[in-house]
Structure 1
Amino acid sequence: MHLPTLPPSLLPALQHVMRPLVRLMLKKGVTYTRFADLLKDIFVDVAEREFRLDDTPPTDSRISLLTGVHRKDVRRLRAKTAGQDVALPEIISFGAHLVSVWLNNSPFCKQPGQPLPIARLASMGGECSFDALVAQVSKDIRARVVLDEWLRLGVVRIDDQDCVHLETVAFIPQKGFDEKAAYFRHNLHDHACAAVHNLTETGAPFFERSVHYDSLSPWAVSQLREAVAVEGMQMLNGLNLLAAELEERDVPPPASRQRITIGLYFYTEPSPSAVSTPTKANSS
């Protein structure tokens, strides 16, 4: 079996990409040994699922050759590997759907993207209440359960008039590590999939672009951060509306369904000490 030639730029790139992930692991008590064991599992699973010949499952020996994992470990890991579902947990998907309805559907918003404060109880607000909002999405989940959880996560607040205010323009919990980790898992995975596809596959690339400068003042960075928060969310809200309309208008058969992720991010840190010329670039 012919193994591909390792591009000299790949390992330095992977080393750089891994730094924030290692920072997260060290902050949360994940040791090198524990992560190395996890990586073994992932190497074996990906090799088994995605590197087949003529759709035939690879042998333990072939996986060992591909991955560098000892054949005994390959046999042990194949016996227990079940793969990972890349979809968001159901409770997260439900929350995202609920926020989308609040943001974009009458009578819960002034206009798309401008959610209204709504009465907590249907007895006070009728169809423009949190009770009615939850009932519009699911008849099986009690509004009080959702409200208590959203108050815990910082998604909503309740004012003195017993009205519920949406505190975010997307279901991104302000509290709750497990909920934040679900988005970390989903978003970073899909961004990495797009980038890896563009690096390794032929044909049309996925859209993946960024703007980067390295000589901005703290004031300029704060202006850009605010612009991303406002204009970026306007763009995502528009795409959310379009996706919802298309989902309703063009219903595919179950076997043809596809999922998408569209993201936007902002990051800043001190520039290297060396003085450099301001730059702007797009990556693909």
Structure 2
Amino acid sequence: MADARDEGLPDAARLQQPVARLLRPLVRLFISCGTTFPALCDLLRELYVNVAVHDFALPDKEQTDSRISLLTGIHRKEVHRLRSAGAPVRMVPAAVSRTTQIVALWMADTRFTDETGAPAPLRRAGSEGSGPTFESLVEEVTRDVRPRAVLDEWLDRKIVTVDAVGRIVLAEAAIAPSKGDERQLYYFGRNLHDHIAAAVANISTSPAPFMERAVHYEGLSQDAARRLEALSRELAMNALLAANREAQAMQKNSEDGEWRWNFGVYVYREKTPPGERVDDDAEKQP
């Protein structure tokens, strides 16, 4: 990784305003959840040392406490204490990984979708009727956990429901985890990481390696903002479903590798705070 002071990168002073803006919603979350400023400082201190050790190592040179101290501004004694923390562990909780794989298959594989391409209601094994069962879906992904255990867990978490004829129906919560769901916090960290990592790579590298774009308008009425939100949700969901189908096919037909890929979409609207409103019509453009 390039040194933070390499030519072409923005200096620390120019980063102040955009960093303050991106941190504001996180600080709001920290305060709401009881994460104090001293606790956050402890976490940042450890991360500064960790990133300096693992991402700013020089080829064929020892990464000394003095150099880490120079890069981070943290005292050598504190650097020495924190270096034993090791690299961050990028671990996907087993339940999250299993749920994600099963839901992705249900939404992409034509054996488990209806004529419109939507996830089809699945019957239980041994029930009347024909077609795939919920058990066959789960066993396609894993045989380490009984399908009944997965079903009980998913019913409890409202990932699925049971319709009037006893079929298992995929719920909205499977795609958009609800508050308190373990997957919500996992994706909160992973998706924000990937979005920020892509944006950082784009301002650190020329040409910019990743697509990171947004369409934004200001000075809208509340009704217009809501209608645009609904439209963008529909367009985004169609894009995600198409990408998921293609990824499922590629994963089946290609050999294993060491790369990962993430395609994400976000939609946001808010009432513009006083002092940030745009009055110039020339500014109202994507």
- The alignment's TM-score, normalised by the length of structure 2, stands at 0.88
1:45-92 CA-to-partner distances (Å, cap 9, x unmatched) read: 10001111115341001001100111111101112234231x532321
1:10-33 CA-to-partner distances (Å, cap 9, x unmatched) read: 111111110011111111110000
Q: Corresponding residue for 2:272?
A: 271
Which amino acid letter does the alignment assign opposite residue 260 of structure 2? R
Q: Corresponding residue for 1:217?
A: 221
User: Which segments of 5 or more consecutive residues in structure 1 lack a partner in the other structure?
Assistant: none
Using a 3 Å threshold, how does the CA distance of structure 1 residues 32 and 169 change in structure 2: closer, same or farther? closer
Q: Corresponding residue for 1:208?
A: 212
Distance 1:139 1:127 in 2: 20
Contact 1:88 1:186 in 2 (8 A): no
- Work out whether 1:40 is the aligned partner of 2:41: no
Give the one of 17, 24, 44 matched to 2:22: 17
Distance 2:210 2:18 in 1: 20
Identity of aligned residues (%): 36
Which amino acid letter does the alignment assign opposite residue 122 of structure 1? A
Q: Corresponding residue for 1:182?
A: 186
- Work out whether 1:71 is the aligned partner of 2:76: yes
Using a 3 Å threshold, how does the CA distance of structure 1 residues 198 and 55 change in structure 2: closer, same or farther? farther
Give the one of 13, 38, 43 matched to 1:8: 13
Q: Corresponding residue for 1:259?
A: 260
Which amino acid letter does the alignment assign opposite residue 232 of structure 1? A
- Equivalent residue pairs, number: 275
Which amino acid letter does the alignment assign opposite residue 103 of structure 1? M
Superposition pairs of residues 238-257 of structure 1, within 5 angstroms: 238-252=242-256, 254=257, 257=258
Distance 1:262 1:169 in 2: 19
Distance 1:196 1:134 in 2: 38
Give the one of 122, 128, 133 matched to 1:118: 122
Which amino acid letter does the alignment assign opposite residue 95 of structure 2? I
Which amino acid letter does the alignment assign opposite residue 186 of structure 1? R
Using a 3 Å threshold, how does the CA distance of structure 1 residues 146 and 112 change in structure 2: closer, same or farther? farther
- CA deviation after TM superposition for structure 1 residue 170, in Å: 5.5
Q: Corresponding residue for 1:192?
A: 196
Contact 1:190 1:261 in 2 (8 A): yes
Q: Corresponding residue for 1:80?
A: 85
Contact 1:109 1:115 in 2 (8 A): yes
Q: Corresponding residue for 2:168?
A: 164
Q: What is the SS of the residue equivalent to 1:165?
A: strand
- The alignment's TM-score, normalised by the length of structure 1, stands at 0.89
Which amino acid letter does the alignment assign opposite residue 37 of structure 2? Y
